[in-house]
Amino acid sequence: MSSDLHGLGFGTSSMAAVLDAAVPWGGRVNVPLQTVAHNALRAERGEGRCVAAQDVWTVTFGGVGIVTTAANGTVGGYAVRGFDPGLAGSAWLAEHLLIAWNPAGQRHEAPDLLERLFEHPARAWFVDFFSDLAEHAAHALELRDAGLLAACVNTYRKCFDAWSGGEHTHHAWSVGSRLQSNGALGWKCPGAGGCASLVVVTDGPAGMADCARYLHGCGWASLPAHVTGGLRVADGVASVGHRVDLIGAADLGQDPSIGLPGRCLALAVEPRVFRMLEDLAG
């Protein structure tokens, strides 16, 4: 598995886990996605913290949706209607949402971040707040309201920065700050941050072009967020898309240190990553 986005906060680890979990069903027409997601999530967590639920679910099932996590360990989700690949909502999203990264920039590195999040005295408040914010952002998508979506994303960015203790003080943060005077309505670091990448909300094609032009001048690459489907297995080849989280982190509420249900909003996007199942098995 290879991608220019490797290690830049777009779900690479969970993509690999889902592809690995697809091996036993390489020759079948109908792959049991629930089982694949369960096995991938178990591999992602090992004996550690309750992480990656949003990532694994989004990569496995694709599209745009709310991922739900329960304190008892259950993970589920439901789609934001109208945003399956090929539908009008996905075309609208590709005209308003940009993913950006520095090909020569810092890869994800935040070694103490999880412990800070799980020990923060306001951790329960953040999980509840982000869960509600995910619903508001999903409503903004249903309305095709880029301004409201950007407001949700900006609020999330500021609050997650407070929860994480300022972990995002790196080059991506400074680039994102300058983007708001170069066509962006809102922006955030994908995943846990700590790397040179961004998710950018714009007012439409003109704003997308302005942002892309500015990013190019900074040595960054960018792509419109083209929604893709979930895990596909055919003729011995498995493929998945990347995960873009719009409102994340609330899935951490599933950890025993918090013990609360959570809701996140994320989407699976191109480029898809392909691997031969025989390579996975070997």
Residue 65 β-bridge partners: 79, 266
Q: How far apart are CA 187 and CA 174, in angstroms?
A: 11
In Å, how far are 18, 97, 124, 157, 199 from 213, measured between CA atoms? 35, 15, 40, 23, 15
**Cβ neighbours of residue 60 closer than 8 Å, sequence gap 6 or more:** 18, 33, 36, 37, 40, 230, 231, 240
Residue-level pLDDT at 281: 45
**pLDDT exceeds 60 at position 231:** yes
**Cβ neighbours of residue 221 closer than 8 Å, sequence gap 6 or more:** 4, 100, 101, 102, 103, 215
- Band (pLDDT 50/70/90 cuts) for residue 145 is very high
Q: What is the mean pLDDT of residues 213-217?
A: 96
The tens digit of pLDDT for each residue in 14-36 reads 999 999 999 887 666 688 999 99
Residue 205 β-bridge partners: none
Q: How far apart are CA 130 and CA 151, in angstroms?
A: 13
Q: What is the mean pLDDT of residues 208-218?
A: 96
The tens digit of pLDDT for each residue in 100-138 reads 999 886 766 666 788 889 999 999 999 999 999 999 999
Residue 31 β-bridge partners: none
Of 263, 244, 266, 256, the C-alpha closest to 129 is: 263
